Amino acid sequence: MSSASLPRVATWGLVLFFVLGVFLQAFHFVFGAWFVQVFVFLCLPWTFHRFSRQAPAKALGFLPVSPLKAAAGTLLGMLCWLAVVLPLMQWMTHLFPASWIEMFDGRALFSGLSGMEQALMLGAVVLAAPLCEEVFFRGFIQPKLIGRWGAPLGLLVTSVLFSLIHMDPVGFLARVALGSLFGWLAYAGGSLWVSISAHASYNLFVCILFFSVGGETSLEPVSLSQGVLLCWLVLGAGGMIGLLWLLGFSPPLAACKPEASSPLPPTPPIPPMSRWRILRPWVLAAVGSFVLLVAVDHRGIALNVFDTVMAPLPSPGKLSELLAHGNQEKERMQALRQKAHKGEVELQEYFEFRRQLSLELRALQADKRR
């Protein structure tokens, strides 16, 4: 498989991510988070380079890096939240309606999950996403775009694609800025490990903040004007750029031009191997993971499919608007769901409760439209 096939493979990867993401979210939300990361964002680049007879680890940028650079990436990932992401997200609360902010609040990932599911989701956010997304975007797509268009445009386009896959208009600009940081660290640091460390530290830092405040998912606007937030953003972004240069993440200017030599050294070809032999471990792992999920959590699958397909409910804020006792109904429903998940009550009991609540909400919504 030649390098000319890379754009097609990358496009298929993005399509598969959206298609599988929608399907697996209804099937099993936590399992889907792990599956699309490993079997789309990691598998496709890895097998592409195996088909091309290249050593995947070296071709994707898994090169040795000094502990100081990895530590610098870890620090920059956490600082980016305070310096750039936080003011940008708070600024968005002034521009988007409250319903949008609530609908696209990423911290709701952990809402309504059991303790084990929260632990698995935490692993997906802190381990799987930093590794697999960096492989796909910064190790697979970004070098090709930089070689064609130069570093500035290549980094920007990669960051926009990275933000788009999160399907979050409220956090779009924040993730473009975040993706630009990860991209620059991978490019200027000469190793994918630097951007992985930054991505992992950022996600871990946000998760720690989330759990330290008791799992609150609402993003309330701070009492600061848009002008103050803009100044905060400009100063924070300037400080981040200054730190990048001070910590040594500044490649030669010549490397920023299109068709410049890649910071990654060429990889020697590996012996040829049949495609089935390359794909076999990935296929067996994917099938095995589905079989294991059904064996371990068939009740969770039934609950997720029913919630998503058979009786979907509006967002928590909309639920509170429609029902004066919306929060109590939500808490009662979640408690009953957990009991059904553990097998303490029959699944049918939970199904009936949620079906009745769904019918009640539809009737109230119809009355509001009249």
Q: Give the pLDDT confidence of 182-206 residue by residue, as tens digits.
A: 999 999 999 999 999 999 999 999 9
More confident residue, 94 or 322: 94
Same domain? For 327 and 265 the reply is no
Residue 318 to residues 21, 108, 208, 326, 330, Cα–Cα distance (Å): 24, 15, 28, 9, 12
Same domain? For 123 and 185 the reply is yes
196 within domain boundaries? yes
Which neighbouring-strand residues pair with 54?
269
Same domain? For 245 and 328 the reply is no
Asked if residue 114 has pLDDT above 90, the reply is no
Q: In this predicted structure, what is the pLDDT of residue 329?
A: 75
Asked if residue 215 has pLDDT above 60, the reply is no
pLDDT band at 309 (very low <50, low <70, confident <90, very high): confident
Domain boundary among 248, 272, 296: 272
Per-position DSSP letters for 269-299, written without gaps between them = B-----HHHHHHHHHHHHHHHHHHHHHHHHH
- Average pLDDT of the residues in 280-301: 94
- Average pLDDT of the residues in 123-137: 96
Same domain? For 240 and 327 the reply is no
- Average pLDDT of the residues in 300-315: 84
211 within domain boundaries? yes
Percent of residues, the chain, with pLDDT higher than 70? 86
Same domain? For 70 and 131 the reply is yes
Return the percent helix, strand and coil in the chain, to nearest 5: 80, 0, 20
Same domain? For 189 and 331 the reply is no
Same domain? For 265 and 342 the reply is no
242 within domain boundaries? yes
User: Range of 241's domain?
Assistant: 53-272
Distance between terminal CA atoms of the chain? 59
Asked if residue 256 has pLDDT above 60, the reply is no
pLDDT band at 15 (very low <50, low <70, confident <90, very high): confident
96 within domain boundaries? yes
23 within domain boundaries? no
Least confident span in 8-22, 67-81, 235-249, 292-306 = 8-22
Query: What is the number of domains present in the chain?
Result: 2
Asked if residue 217 has pLDDT above 50, the reply is no
Alpha carbons 97 and 74: distance in angstroms, whole number? 34
Same domain? For 110 and 245 the reply is yes
Same domain? For 248 and 325 the reply is no
> Are the CB atoms for 6 and 13 separated by under 8 Å?
no
352 within domain boundaries? yes
pLDDT band at 235 (very low <50, low <70, confident <90, very high): very high
Q: Give the pLDDT confidence of 155-173 residue by residue, as tens digits.
A: 999 999 999 999 899 999 9
Alpha carbons 114 and 123: distance in angstroms, whole number? 14
- Average pLDDT of the residues in 304-319: 75
- Average pLDDT of the residues in 211-228: 66
Asked if residue 109 has pLDDT above 50, the reply is yes
- Average pLDDT of the residues in 304-331: 70
- Average pLDDT of the residues in 93-103: 80
Domain boundary among 211, 246, 272: 272
Q: In this predicted structure, what is the pLDDT of residue 218?
A: 45
Same domain? For 104 and 213 the reply is yes
pTM of this prediction?
0.88
Same domain? For 173 and 107 the reply is yes
Asked if residue 54 has pLDDT above 70, the reply is yes
